[in-house]
Chain A
Amino acid sequence: MAIEQEPKVQTQAAATQRRYRTLAVVRQEAITRVEKPLEDSVFVWPHLLVREFFASTIVMVMLTLLSVAIDAPLREPANPNVTPNPAKAPWYFLGLQELLHYFPPTTAGVLIPGLVLVGLACLPYVDRNPSRAYADRKIAIVTFTMFVVFWACVTLAGSFFRGPGWVWYWPWQGLFFDL
Chain B
Amino acid sequence: MSSLPEKKSLLDIITQKIVTSQLWRSIFRHGYPDTPLNQSLVMMGNVFLHLHPVKVSRQAMKITYTWCMGGISFFLFLVLTLTGVFLMFYYVPETHTAYQNINQLSSAVSFGHLVRNMHRWAAHLMVVSVTLHMIRVFYHGAYKPPREFNWVVGVGLFFCTLFLSFTGYLLPWDQIALWAITVGTNLAPYTPILGQPVYQVLVGGPAVGQATLIRFYVGHVILLPLATAILLAVHFWRIRKDGGAAGPPPPSRRELEARLAEAEQGLAPTAAR
A residues within 8 Å of B by Cβ?
Answer: 32-33, 35-36, 38, 40-49, 51-52, 55-56, 59-60, 63-64, 66-68, 70-80, 82-84, 87-93, 96-97, 100, 104-106, 109-110, 117, 120-121, 123-125, 127, 129-137, 140-141, 144, 148, 178-179
Contact = CB atoms under 8 A, between A and B. Distances in A.
Contact of B176 (A45, A73, A105): A73
B26 to A, nearest CB: 21
A39 to B, nearest CB: 9
Contacts of A56: 71-72, 75
Contacts of B117: 66-68, 70-72
Given A48-B61, A67-B117, A133 B240 contact: no
B56 A44 contact: yes
B135 interface: yes
A45 B99 contact: no
A96 B58 CA distance: 40
B62 to A, nearest CB: 9
19 contacts: A33-B244, A41-B55, A43-B36, A44-B54, A52-B71, A67-B117, A72-B117, A72-B119, A74-B172, A100-B187, A109-B187, A120-B134, A120-B158, A121-B152, A132-B141, A132-B144, A132-B250, A133-B252, A135-B254
Contacts of B141: 131-133, 137, 140
Contact of A55 (B54, B72, B244): B72
A89 B183 contact: yes
Given A41-B57, A59-B72, A32 B240 contact: yes
Contacts of B236: none
A125 B148 CA distance: 7
B116 A72 contact: yes
B143 A124 contact: yes
B243 A35 contact: yes
A41 B43 CA distance: 15
A163 B43 CA distance: 54
Contacts of B138: 123, 144
A135 B57 contact: no
A109 B175 contact: no
Interface residues of B, number: 94
A130 B145 CA distance: 8
Contacts, number: 221
Contact of A67 (B49, B121, B177, B191): B121
A172 to B, nearest CB: 23
B175 A77 contact: yes
Contacts of A120: 134, 155, 158
B165 A109 contact: no
Interface string B182-205: 111001001110000000000000
A135 B252 contact: yes
B175 A79 contact: yes
B87 to A, nearest CB: 11
B224 interface: no
A89 B148 CA distance: 32
A51 B182 CA distance: 42
B56 A48 contact: yes
